[in-house]
């Protein structure tokens, strides 16, 4: 079986070696395909290969179209012990990408290197989850952290409260938008280096944060009694679903597929507050990268409306020398399951900003919103609006269709529209996604278009 896997992946590995590029967010299906390597089932493994060729029209009159090309090979090992409560997880691979840069005269860039994506220890029991090491993490539903950190993540349930604590350091070598596992640099239209504010050494750029969420409808009899093994497989960041945009909740299409199915008709007819969250968060480090300490406080409120509509709203305050500002958020969504097994999701979001200091810039460096396939707009581009629609058709191929639009209301007034078609084949081992984009921005002379196909094979 192992030999068969290697032979199946060999042609894709050769294609990767001689092409070049990376996937959108270093997305991975590895977690869904971990299979036993030993008879006792304690050691699991998986392999994944990705190729993603594409083409982009020129936003500059003097330059022609460009080819986007490349791929990645990833491998993972997961060793469990202590009745499956503890895990050692390692994931890494080889990345190879090439692109043509429209903005400067160098025109052609290429990268080939090996890298480590994750290497951590985790411990999971009912009501407690712990990770230590190099891992991808978020801080609750707040967008201030969506990063790969070397540090600790703790999630603890205490009655109606869920406590999320994060602490660690980030360097360019392993950051999500750094040298390995990310391809925001693939297009390189405006900025060359998207990690210029992240340190090169451990301890130069650090984070620590605490989020507390309260469920006002909590009932002790509804405690989750599922086993820790299932929780580990379904909730860990390395086992992310490969949605239209999965880098952050503001880019998701809303709640889970069970959003409507888990509520009673009586509950769906009410307006109710389903969650209240507060956060304290700090970014600090060397004067070279973070000369002024950045401290954040904020809250989020989740509200359910009739007809299966949900909303999330809140505000974040940035306390920073000469950069004091408020960011406020409003996000809505609806998920509709149909009798034939199909699913439709609709969502929208507005993220605005009110300055206390003139010309203040909201600048959490580990948020990694990167909204949009090509322009990857982030916190510094606020205010932003976004609309998204997705439909998943019934059937074994899991065909889906999605449309997304995002716009910037100030500065370069960038607007981008993305369209996507995708299928899952061969028992979910192969995913093929077609992506198309149109972009208009004052930062470049002309509007332009992009199209590419992303093919991912996992075993």
Task: Compute the distance between CA of residue 316 and CA of residue 48 in angstroms, rounded to an integer.
Answer: 38
User: Measured between alpha carbons, how far is residue 72 from residues 13, 23, 237 in Å?
Assistant: 8, 8, 19
74 or 235, which is more confident? 74
Percent residues over pLDDT 90 in the chain: 55
Task: Compute the distance between CA of residue 455 and CA of residue 65 in angstroms, rounded to an integer.
Answer: 22
- The model's confidence at residue 343, banded by pLDDT at 50, 70 and 90, is very high
Main-chain dihedrals φ then ψ at residue 27, nearest 5 degrees? -65, 155
User: Measured between alpha carbons, how far is residue 256 from residues 145, 274, 304, 405 in Å?
Assistant: 21, 15, 14, 21
Please name the CATH architecture into which domain 2-458 falls.
Beta Barrel (2.40)
pLDDT of residue 254 exceeding 70, the answer is no
Highest mean pLDDT among 16-25, 105-114, 163-172, 244-253: 163-172
pLDDT of residue 298 exceeding 80, the answer is yes
pLDDT at 286: 95
Q: Which of 30-34, 99-103, 404-408 has the lowest mean pLDDT?
A: 99-103
Task: Report whether 302 contacts 274 (CB < 8 A).
Answer: yes
> Average pLDDT, stretch 413-421?
96
Task: Compute the distance between CA of residue 430 and CA of residue 457 in angstroms, rounded to an integer.
Answer: 5
- The model's confidence at residue 30, banded by pLDDT at 50, 70 and 90, is confident
pLDDT of residue 13 exceeding 50, the answer is no
Q: Which tokens sit at 23?
A: 């996937």
User: pLDDT for 357-374, tens place per residue?
Assistant: 998 999 999 998 888 888
Domain borders along the chain are 2-458
User: pLDDT for 181-204, tens place per residue?
Assistant: 555 556 666 555 556 789 999 999
Let me know how long the chain is: 459
pLDDT at 176: 83
Task: Compute the distance between CA of residue 434 and CA of residue 388 in angstroms, rounded to an integer.
Answer: 17
In whole angstroms, what separates CA 422 from the centre of its chain? 18
Main-chain dihedrals φ then ψ at residue 384, nearest 5 degrees? -130, 150
pLDDT at 181: 57
Q: Which residues of 290-307 are buried (b: 16+ CB within 10 A; e: fewer)?
A: beeebebebbbebebeee
Alpha helices in 216-314 (DSSP H): 228-235, 265-268
- Mean per-residue pLDDT over the chain, rounded: 81
Among 44, 416, 47, 399, smallest CA distance to 232 is for 44
Task: Compute the distance between CA of residue 248 and CA of residue 136 in angstroms, rounded to an integer.
Answer: 12
Percent residues over pLDDT 70 in the chain: 76
HSE, side-chain direction, 13 A CA sphere, residue 356: 13
Highest mean pLDDT among 40-44, 163-167, 235-239: 163-167
Reduce the DSSP state of residue 26 to 3 states and report it.
coil
């Amino acid at each position: 079986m192992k030999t068969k896997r290697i032979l199946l992946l060999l042609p894709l590995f050769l294609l990767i070696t001689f092409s070049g590029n990376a996937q959108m967010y270093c997305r991975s299906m590895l977690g869904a395909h971990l299979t036993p390597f030993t008879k006792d089932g304690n050691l699991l493994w998986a392999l994944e290969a990705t190729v993603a060729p594409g083409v982009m029209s020129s936003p500059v009159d003097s330059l022609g179209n460009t080819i986007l090309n490349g791929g990645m090979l990833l491998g993972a090992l997961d060793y469990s012990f202590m009745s499956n409560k503890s895990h050692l997880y390692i994931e890494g691979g080889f990345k190879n990408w090439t692109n043509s840069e429209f903005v400067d005269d160098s025109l052609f860039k290429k990268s080939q290197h090996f890298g480590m994506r994750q290497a951590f220890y985790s411990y999971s029991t009912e009501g407690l989850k712990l990770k230590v090491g190099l891992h991808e993490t978020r801080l609750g539903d707040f967008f201030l952290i969506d990063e790969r950190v070397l540090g600790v993540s703790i999630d603890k349930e205490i009655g109606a409260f869920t406590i999320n604590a994060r602490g660690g350091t980030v360097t360019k070598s392993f950051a999500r938008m750094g040298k390995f596992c990310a391809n925001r640099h693939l297009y390189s239209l405006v900025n060359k280096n998207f990690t210029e504010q992240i340190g090169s050494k451990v301890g130069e750029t650090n984070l620590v944060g605490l989020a507390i969420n309260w469920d006002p409808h909590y009932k002790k009899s509804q405690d989750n009694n599922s086993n820790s093994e299932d929780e580990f497989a379904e909730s860990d960041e390395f086992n992310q679903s490969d949605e239209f945009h999965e880098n952050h909740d503001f880019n998701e299409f809303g709640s889970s597929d069970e959003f409507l199915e888990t509520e009673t008709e009586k509950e769906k007819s009410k307006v109710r507050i389903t969650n209240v969250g507060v956060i304290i968060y700090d970014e600090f480090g060397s004067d070279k990268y973070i000369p002024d300490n950045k401290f954040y406080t904020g809250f989020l409120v989740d509200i359910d409306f009739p007809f299966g509509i949900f909303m999330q709203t809140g505000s974040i305050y940035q306390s920073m020398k000469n950069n004091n500002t408020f960011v406020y958020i409003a996000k809505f969504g609806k998920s509709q399951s149909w009798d034939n097994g199909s699913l439709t999701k609709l969502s929208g979001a507005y993220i605005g900003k009110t300055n206390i200091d003139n010309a203040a810039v909201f600048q959490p460096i580990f948020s990694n919103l990167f909204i949009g396939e090509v322009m990857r707009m982030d916190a510094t581009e606020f205010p932003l609006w976004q609309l998204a629609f997705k439909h998943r058709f019934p059937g074994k191929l899991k065909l889906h269709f999605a449309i997304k639009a995002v716009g910037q209301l100030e500065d370069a007034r960038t607007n981008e529209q993305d369209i996507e078609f995708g299928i899952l084949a061969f028992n979910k081992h192969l995913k093929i996604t077609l992506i198309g984009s149109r972009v208009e921005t004052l930062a470049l002379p002309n509007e332009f278009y992009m199209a590419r196909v992303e093919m991912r094979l996992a075993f």
